A and B are shown apart, each in its own frame.
Chain A
């Protein structure tokens, strides 16, 4: 057994524990920003280390835990998302609570959960990783004790999330009961299509779709996204969704590969429903976080639709999309954080006049939103193109068509935000201050979105290599 394969996860746990210890050792009144930087540096080190694992394809613990290119791809995505989130939210977190050290440690532990999910090769590890991530998110969502909205969001998320976990676990138990195995590849070997197995499949679809906020299991997302502190919302939108995607990939394309005929139809309907619901309801939103929540429901629909191809090209599209979606969201949430730091609220109206107050942030927001809408030359266009081409090859032309129509509609509400930033006068004369780390994150997001959009080759190759490791 090669314990070295778990080094990166162990390192993140140690980092989190160190932060808790340092947090206790530091004087009470001293600011915890140093801990934040410590976490960022630690994660950067771990990120660099993970490149060591490139090219490895091995399992530990009787095949429960797998390290391959797919797992690595997602782990690096999670770590990058966490680093960027930490960087843009220092000011915000310090304004939120005195227990900032705890906040950082919890965020890191949720990262461990995601990394576990990326490597999970059996139902139980999937569940443990998922729960590790979700339970910490229950705490983080309700972290703002002064805000009743935050507490409400935390409670709602806890209740609905537990119900969904129960459903997922129930589905897993049916699958285990009728195949006698929890390892994904062994489940696939059974070629079992009994009603009981399909019952398990159906329950697992429901449970996983809840985690991914796929309509109609999305109802929790807008309330929770709105109530949660912004960095938590950002992590929920980017990293936790990507973690759901990797689990979805392994379960559907490995364990249930032989049941394709059954789940394809359902997945296609759910994906399309997500696109439609996410986009048409977003039109009505006045709160940025809520709008981004609906947009994330729609984006989840786009990502999941790549599953319909059930081949490497589709998975490549999904991975590509997951990255560009993360990058675009980092930009959008960074700007949201900056605006919140300034005005203490996150209504779309608060963005008025941003183009004069901070032209740079206005550009970042615009590019991020247009990338999500799928306009060239932003990355989102290429991502949608890869996914739609892959599924059109497999005969899902109608899904691609609907996706295109809905992304046209989505341009409308993304442009509404842009319009507010560029054509409305600012509400106050107050000088707009933006911290240096936030600027850097916004710049990274801007450059990455444009770079991926103009020169998609390298990322596409990477995604392709990762996608092929599933087969």
Chain B
């Protein structure tokens, strides 16, 4: 019954948070408790509906080939028909579940985390708006709807990164995120326009049925370019190299935001877009290769930066970039199942780790450097347990969630390309190392005397426990229930585990963790010595390969240089033209205004004069008259 209702009212899932945004944003901003209740309540209903949808998908045998689609005509003009609607298949049902769940957890968590903040109501309004936009994106039926919500989640991200707008760094980070993702979005928009031109439709279902015929007739050359343009959007949004630079800076936002937007949901929108448009990408081997290599490179590259970072949230941010690269890699080698599986488990354990990091920051205000922490396991046992589960999950230690999804990716990659497989395994090793480093440095060792940590309040502990449980069982249960039969593209896959790959990666992870213990935990090897010995490498990683500096240099040299040239042109040529163009209507207006004397006689004169001109003109135009003028006989 309920799943029937949920399936026919999917539109409520994004609509309820939108309503909550309006109510909280416009009327309840000054009433923190009511505001939080409304938005948590709406999220809870959304979550319940998402569960109903998930159950309905299984009960009604809705598959990737047989999605449930509802459409409402939105705009229709000749040659362009745009619908808004609901697209439910196992992939979007899974996304609905993840987004509503994490949004709900983060909102509950924020009640404690943001308590006493001056902008409490505003914060919840933004969170609700974000949830609404993200859910709208997930159920998009066509590229237009997806793009609209895509931009809207970008806006929410901007607003929430800059939430502490009184801080310069937060404002700068918000701007950076917005502008960097905009570069990718431009490509996405151009790609979408190309699709409209080539196919005359942007509807996913219609495109899916038109693409094979097009490829058979015209080949893949043009379409590959279009696909890569489309892929620029995910590169920006999902923080892939070379547009990854905004994501670590985005950590300026409040920690719950980092958990929700910059770890679990918005940043995976790019991965989701590729999965949603997989009918297109999978038909284009070259585009797939690009995706796979960008994903693999990003994964490895970001992991190597996370090695040396000291800010707890930045480490997690680079780990997010790296894991997103993993998901892209999985898509690139053609396994939607592995990618989506990892997307789900990653949402659980990364949100968990961010929320645990938030609890640490809540207990130790104004400290971000992990080396200034230490020994927190005594005072913050719940947080310690949560972070441990998260680290074990992301490192791929069985039976935690990450083990199953990561091995599915490794298996998929190993079947396609050995170099990519090696990169993925190395990344997995590095991931286990830097995550263990974080855990050991923050929670083990001796307590710092001037730190006075305290455990997080109840509202913050509940989400930690819920997500902690999911990070433990979130891998095994889908694995045991044949996740690949449902969430997939093409034929159902029963790949399961390859024990040799699983064993390799597990052994490597354990090795990495014990190595980290040796360096950071036991005190036998000094990390300072190591960083001194590998000075150049250390510096390269610590300074993030100077990518930011490189962009700054690019900006200074080319953009500013171009700016100077254009400025010169502007002053000497454009300004005159623009001024002239502006003066023309103003001057003309002044002239016409003069006719408005207020004198009745003048008005009458103009009116009758105009009438006379019209009448004479019309009469002269008449066929009879024209005949007479040309001397003919009528």
Contact = CB atoms under 8 A, between A and B. Distances in A.
Interface of A: 156, 159-160, 163-164, 167, 193-195, 197-199, 201-203, 205-206, 210, 216-217, 219-220, 222-223, 262, 266, 276-277, 279-284, 385-386, 389, 393, 409, 455-457
B148 to A, nearest CB: 10
A160 B618 contact: no
B623 interface: yes
Interface string B611-625: 100110111011111
Given A159-B600, A164-B607, A280 B588 contact: yes
10 contacts: A164-B607, A201-B618, A216-B610, A219-B603, A266-B614, A266-B618, A283-B585, A283-B589, A456-B75, A457-B75
A281 B596 contact: yes
Interface residues of B, number: 37
A222 B623 CA distance: 39
Contacts of B78: 389, 393
A82 to B, nearest CB: 28
A219 B595 CA distance: 9
A198 B608 CA distance: 17
Interface string B67-87: 000001111111000000000
B607 A202 contact: no
A221 B602 CA distance: 14
Nearest to A159: B600
B618 A217 contact: no
Contact of A216 (B598, B600, B606, B618): B606
A435 to B, nearest CB: 21
B614 A160 contact: no
Residue with the greatest number of chain A CB neighbours at <10 A, chosen from B73, B592, B595: B592
Contacts of B590: 284
Contact of B618 (A202, A280, A385): A202
A203 B615 contact: yes
A409 B133 CA distance: 34
Contacts of A205: 614
Interface of B: 72-78, 585-586, 588-590, 592-593, 595-596, 598, 600, 602-604, 606-611, 614-615, 617-619, 621-625
Contact of A156 (B600, B608, B614, B618): B600
A317 B323 CA distance: 51
Contact of B610 (A160, A193, A206, A280): A206
Given A167-B611, A280-B586, 14 more contacts: A160-B600, A163-B607, A163-B608, A164-B607, A203-B615, A206-B611, A219-B595, A262-B622, A266-B614, A280-B588, A284-B590, A393-B78, A456-B75, A457-B72
A197 B603 CA distance: 27
B130 to A, nearest CB: 19
A392 to B, nearest CB: 11
Contacts of A393: 78
A77 B410 CA distance: 65
Interface of A is mostly: helix
A193 to B, nearest CB: 6
B596 A219 contact: yes
Contacts of B595: 219
Given A163-B604, A206-B611, A219-B603, A198 B621 contact: yes
A262 B75 contact: no
B618 A283 contact: no
List of 6 A-B pairs having minimum Cβ-Cβ separation, nearest first: A280-B589, A202-B615, A206-B611, A219-B603, A198-B618, A202-B618
Contacts of A409: 585
A216 B585 contact: no
Contacts of B74: 455, 457
Contacts of B593: 281, 284
Nearest to B585: A280
A198 B607 contact: no
Contact of B606 (A167, A195, A219): A219
A284 B596 CA distance: 12
A156 B585 CA distance: 28
A199 B589 contact: no
Nearest to B602: A219
Contacts of B609: 216
Contacts of A163: 604, 607-608
Given A222-B596, A266-B618, A160 B604 contact: yes
A206 B608 CA distance: 9
A139 to B, nearest CB: 19
Nearest to B586: A283
A202 B618 CA distance: 7
A375 to B, nearest CB: 17
A223 B595 CA distance: 13
A123 B590 CA distance: 39
A414 to B, nearest CB: 14
Residue with the greatest number of chain B CB neighbours at <10 A, chosen from A194, A202, A456: A202
Contacts of B77: 385-386, 389
Residue with the greatest number of chain B CB neighbours at <10 A, chosen from A160, A197, A205, A219: A219
Contacts of A280: 585-586, 588-589, 592
Contacts of A210: 607
Contacts of B623: 193
A304 B585 CA distance: 22
A199 B596 contact: no
B589 A266 contact: no
A220 B603 contact: yes
Contacts of A194: 622, 624
Contacts of B615: 198-199, 202-203, 206
Contacts of B73: 457
Given A195-B624, A202-B619, A160 B596 contact: no
B585 A217 contact: no
A283 B624 CA distance: 45
A266 B592 CA distance: 21
A208 to B, nearest CB: 11
Contacts of B625: 195
A205 B75 CA distance: 35
Nearest to A409: B585
A202 B611 contact: yes
Contact of A262 (B604, B611, B621): B621
B596 A202 contact: no
Contacts of B611: 167, 202-203, 206, 217
Contacts of B596: 219, 222-223, 281
A284 B73 CA distance: 43
A190 B596 CA distance: 41
A314 B488 CA distance: 48
